Amino acid sequence: MWALPKQLRSRGIIGMNRRNIRYIGRYNDRRLYPLVDDKLKTKLLAERHGITTPALIGTVTTQFGVKHIREMLDGHGGFVIKPAKGSGGKGILVIERVEEGRYIKPSGTALSLDDLERHASNILSGLYSLGGSPDVAVIEALINFDPYLSAYTYEGVPDIRVIVFRGYPVMAMMRLSTAASDGKANLHQGAVGVGLDIASGRALRGVQFDRTREDHPDTGHELASLAIPDWRTLLVLAAGCYEMTGLGYLGTDMVLDRDRGPMLLELNARPGLAIQMANGEGLRARLDLIERQPDGASVEARVAFAQQHFARRGELQPAGEPAPLAGVAASA
């Protein structure tokens, strides 16, 4: 039931207090927080730095503008409405497709235009933002996620969280939404976290609700065969967010688009610690190693360094035959 502090320390597990003081407090300049706390700002900044992000359909900034949502959405299939300053996935509404003026969520629930307008209005009045301050609703095109991954997820878009420390990608996991998480990729809501090998992008280990899992709870697909295509590009993209924001301890949320490859979804200046559970390994040793590295390495060099030093073998047993590597060309 309870672990001893000694056991956790020997595995290099980082607690909330240490993360806050030792890493976030020391490496993340509070001045830079607005860059990541406001998703709209992040998006525009990413575009300037040549980092791909989902296409922006439009923004709603006034209650008056809420009435024009329909015109804005005309001609778009799936889309996502989210608060620019939301946190923890709050207030993100995913519409998969539009049918006869009805907006269908991934779960199949149909919403009316009124529901959409109410949601946007709630976002503007600050319902989902930190401290209840007035906010802006951002509408993005839905990601056409890589069909290779669809067997691993239930509704929703699986995303990949990479912790970037001083520009080095130190740990990664994939978050697979489940029925329990209502299509959202948040671990505390019941999404499955799959630790990924930094060297290859292959699955190391899976957890749901902090307990180990070998397969996806809804699709029943085993997790061992999971390997992220285009892994190196994704790492380079994630590592580049250090130069883009200046934040030393950063959580980057990436998605894989069928056509455009890895894309940056959002950034987090206070990334959670569940990634340690998904990887079955503490962050401490890796962060200590990175702290000893000198400043000024290029993005490419940093990714290479991480891939060399953080390589690991998976703990999951492939079911029967070797993992299908067909779609995993670019992992090495």
Partner 1 sequence: MSRKPFYLIVGLLMALGIGLSVHRHVQFEVPWTPGEQRQVWEVEAVVDFTALGDPVKVDLALPTHQRGYRILTENTASPGYGLSFLQDERGRRAQWSTRDAAGSQQLYYSVRLLVTDNDRQQDVPLPPLRDSTWESPYDTAAAQVIERAWARSADPYTFARELIRDFTEERQGENARLLLTQFERTPLLVRLLNQAGVRAREVSGLLLEDGRRRQSLTSWIQVFQDEQTWDLFHPVSGEQGRPDNLLLWETGGRAVLEVLGGTNSRVSFSMITHNQPASAAVRNELADDTLLNFSIHSLPLEEQAIFQTILLIPIGALVVVLLRVLVGVKTSGTFMPVLIALAFIQTTLPTGLIGFLLVVSVGLVIRNYLSYLNLLLVARVSAVIITVIAIISIFSVLSYRVGLNAGLTITFFPMIILAWTIERMSILWEEEGPKEVLIQGSGSLLTAVLAYLAMNNPWIRHITFNFLGVQLILMALILLLGNYTGYRLLELRRFKPVTED
Q: Applying CB under 8 A, which residues contact partner 1?
A: 1-5, 7-8, 11, 13, 15-18, 21-22, 26, 63, 90, 118, 121-122, 125-127, 132, 188-189, 207, 210-212, 276-277, 280-282, 315
137 φ, ψ (degrees, to nearest 5): -95, 130
In the bound state with partner 1, the residue whose beta carbon lies nearer, of 7 and 298, is 7
Cβ 124 to partner 1, closest distance in Å? 8
In the bound state with partner 1, the residue whose beta carbon lies nearer, of 25 and 34, is 25
Who contacts 146 (Cβ-Cβ below 8 Å, separation ≥6)? 229, 256, 257, 258
SS3 annotation, the chain? CCCCHHHHHHCCCCCHHHHHHHHHHHHCCHHHHHHHHCHHHHHHHHHHCCCCCCCEEEEECCHHHHCCHHHHHCCCCCEEEEECCECCCCCCEEECEEECCEEECCCCCEECHHHHHHHHHHHHCCCCEHHHCCCCEEEEECCCECHHHHHHCCCCCCEEEEEEECCEEEEEEEEECCCCCCCCCCHHHCCEEEEECCCCCEEEEEEECCEEECECCCCCCECCCCECCCHHHHHHHHHHHHHHHCCCEEEEEEEEECCCEEEEEEEECCCCCHHHHHHCCCCHHHHHHHHCCCCCCCHHHHHHHHHHHCCCCCCCCCCCCCCCCCCCHHHC
In the bound state with partner 1, the residue whose beta carbon lies nearer, of 124 and 237, is 124
Cβ 104 to partner 1, closest distance in Å? 20
Cβ 129 to partner 1, closest distance in Å? 10
- The answer to whether 57 and 104 are in contact (CB under 8 A) is no
Cβ 97 to partner 1, closest distance in Å? 24
In the bound state with partner 1, the residue whose beta carbon lies nearer, of 186 and 252, is 186
In the bound state with partner 1, the residue whose beta carbon lies nearer, of 4 and 326, is 4
Cβ 55 to partner 1, closest distance in Å? 26
In the bound state with partner 1, the residue whose beta carbon lies nearer, of 47 and 210, is 210
In the bound state with partner 1, the residue whose beta carbon lies nearer, of 15 and 261, is 15
Cβ 107 to partner 1, closest distance in Å? 15
In the bound state with partner 1, the residue whose beta carbon lies nearer, of 280 and 327, is 280
Cβ 219 to partner 1, closest distance in Å? 22
Cβ 210 to partner 1, closest distance in Å? 6
